[in-house]
Amino acid sequence: MNISASQSALDFAGKGAERIAELFYWMTGGAIVIWIVVIGLAVYAVMSRRAHPVRMTHWLVIGGGAVIPTITLTALLSYGLAMLPELQEPAPKGSTTIEVAGVRWWWRVNYLDPSGGRIVTANEIYLPVDQPVEFKLTSEDVIHSFWIPSLGGKIDMVPGRTNRLKLHPTREGVFHGVCAEFCGEAHAQMRFRVVVTDQNAFDEWLETQSQASKSSSEMAEGEAMFLSRGCSACHTIRGTSADGMVGPDLTHFGSRLSIAAGVLDNTPQNLARWLVDTHGVKPGVEMPAFESLSGEEVDTLVRYLGALQ
C-alpha cells in the first residue's frame, strides 16, 4: 500500500489539529514535570532513613494534594476550554458544506451545491486549502465516528441525529480519514482519503464530480456487463441506467485514489482482486464476491470502472 499520506494528529495540516497538538505538547510537558516531582518525593520518602516531623507533612498534603493541583488545573481549564468555542463554531455562511453519512463500512459523501442540489460521491473528500468547511454528519445504520486526524478532532455519526463539524485545512496534501467508533466486523477497514488542494483544482474537481460519466464506445461492453451482472442493483453510475443506492456511487470511480473505502490503492490489480476476493480483502462487507466471473470478464469490468474518470 502506497502511503505518503498522513494519519497523524501531530503531523497537523488543519487549524483544529494545530491548536490541539499545541495543547498536547504543553500538557505533556507539564505532566512530565509533575510526575518527576511526585515520584522523586515518593522515592526519597522510602529511601530516607530520617523520620520527618508530622507537622511538616501536613503542609505537604495540603500544598501538594490540594493547593497546587487546584491552581494548575484552573490554569489548564482556562487554557484548554478557551479553544472550545473556536473549535465548535460553525463555518461562515457560504462555506463549502459536505454531508457525510456513515454506512457499514463506507462513506456516502454529498457536496451541497449552492443552488440546492447535491453532488454525490463516496469514500473520498476533496477540500480547498485555507477555507473553512462545514460537515453535516449522519449515520444510516450504527454509530460511526468521522475522524481526519491531521485536520482536527473527531465527531460521532449517530443514527437519528445530525452532528456537525468544521475543519479548516491549512496545507495541501493527501490525508487519511478513519471511522473511530467501533462499528462491527469491518470497522478496521472503514477508511477514506482526503485530498486538500488549491481552490482552482478543487473547483475543477467538483465540477467534474457534478457531471455524469462520459461514455465512449470502448466502454460499452463494460457498461453492459456492469448492468447485466447485477452491479447496478447497488451502485449508481450517473449517465447510465445503473441507479442502485445501497452501495457507493461509482460515477467517477476511476478518478479515486482508493477502493473498498480506503482499503486498497486504486490499481487495476487491486480492483480485480476486490471483485473476486471481496471478503478476503474486507471481511463482513455487504458486497458479494463475484467469483463466477471469468478472468476476461473481470478485465472488462476493471477497464470499464477505471475509465470512469
Partner 1 sequence: MNESAERLLKAWRTPKGWRYWSAVNNSKIGLWYTITAFGFLLFGGLLALVMRIQLAFPENDFLTADQYNQVFTMHGSVMMFLFAVPILEAISILLLPEMMGARDLPFPRLSAYGFWAFLIGGVFVCGSLFFGAGPRGGWFMYPPMTTQYQTGVGADIWLLGLSFIEIASIAAAVELIVGVLKCRPPGMRLNLIPLYAWYILVVAVMILFAFPPLIAGDLLMELERALDWPFFDASRGGDPMLWQHLFWIFGHPEVYIVFLPSIALVAMIVPTFARTPMVGYGWIVLAAVGTGFLSFGLWVHHMFTTGLPGITIGIFSAASQAVAIPTGIQIFCFIATLLVGRVTRSVCLLFVLAGLATFIIGGLTGVMVAIAPFDYQAHDTYFIVGHLHYVLVGGTIFPIVAGFYYFYPLITGKQLSERLGTIAFWLMMIGFNVSFFPMHITGMIGMPRRVYTYPAGMGFDNLNLISSVGAFVLAGGFVVFLWDLLRPKGGQPTAPRNVWNAGTLEWLAEVPDQPWGVRSIPIVESRYPLWDQENFVRDVDEGNFYLPDAEEGLRETLVTSTVEATPIQCLRVPGPTFLPMWAAAFTGGVFIFGTFHWYIMAGVSGVLAFFTILAWLWTGTAIIPEKTEKNVGLGLTLPTYVSGPAAVGWWAMFITMLGDMTAFMSLVFGYFFYWTVHEDFPPKDVEGPGVLWPLVSVFCALAAWGLMLLSRKLNSRKNGSLFYVSTLTSVLMTFAAAGALIAGPWLHNMDPTEHVYQASVCVLVLWTVIHLALGAVMQLYAVARRAAGKMTHRFNADIVNVTLYWHFMMLTAGITGLTIALFPLVS
Of the residues 34, 112, 174, 289, which one makes contact with partner 1 according to CB under 8 A: 34
**Number of residues this chain uses to bind partner 1 (CB under 8 A):** 87
* Binding segment toward partner 1, per CB under 8 A, in 8-16, 92-100, 202-210, 212-220: 8-16
Supply the DSSP symbol for 119: E
Does position 9 bind partner 1 by CB under 8 A?
Answer: yes
Of the residues 13, 14, 15, 17, which one makes contact with partner 1 according to CB under 8 A: 17
Instruction: Go through the chain and tell me how many residues it has.
Output: 309
Coil, strand, or helix at residue 191? strand
Does position 45 bind partner 1 by CB under 8 A?
Answer: yes
CB of 31 to partner 1, least distance (A): 4
Tell me which residues in 184-203 interact with partner 1 (CB under 8 A).
Answer: 184-188
What are 154's three cell numbers?
Answer: 473527531
Half-sphere exposure of 105 (CA within 13 A, CB side): 27
CB of 80 to partner 1, least distance (A): 4
Q: How many Å apart are CA 204 and CA 200, to the nearest integer?
A: 6
Q: How many Å apart are CA 61 and CA 50, to the nearest integer?
A: 19
Output the DSSP codes for 124-170.
Answer: EEEEETTS-EEEEEEESSS-EEEE-TTT---EEE-TT--EEEEE-B-
Does position 18 bind partner 1 by CB under 8 A?
Answer: no
Percent of residues in the chain assigned helix, strand, coil, to nearest 5: 40, 20, 35
What is the per-residue binding string for partner 1 in 73-112, x denoting contact by CB under 8 A? x--xx--xx-xxx-xx---------------x--------
Please identify, using beta-carbon distances, which residue of 69 and 268 lies nearer to partner 1. 69
Tell me which residues in 56-75 interact with partner 1 (CB under 8 A).
Answer: 56-58, 60-61, 64-66, 69-70, 73
* Binding segment toward partner 1, per CB under 8 A, in 12-20, 127-135, 195-203, 290-298: 12-20
CB of 223 to partner 1, least distance (A): 32
Does position 23 bind partner 1 by CB under 8 A?
Answer: yes
Coil, strand, or helix at residue 98? strand
Of the residues 178, 231, 298, 302, which one makes contact with partner 1 according to CB under 8 A: 178
Helices vs strands, H then E, count in the chain = 9, 12
Q: List residues bridging with 192 in a β-sheet.
A: 177
Query: Phi and psi (nearest 5°) for 125?
Result: -130, 125
Q: How many Å apart are CA 148 and CA 156, to the nearest integer?
A: 12
Tell me which residues in 138-177 interact with partner 1 (CB under 8 A).
Answer: 141-143, 145, 147, 149-150, 152-156, 158-161, 163-164, 176
Please identify, using beta-carbon distances, which residue of 57 and 211 lies nearer to partner 1. 57
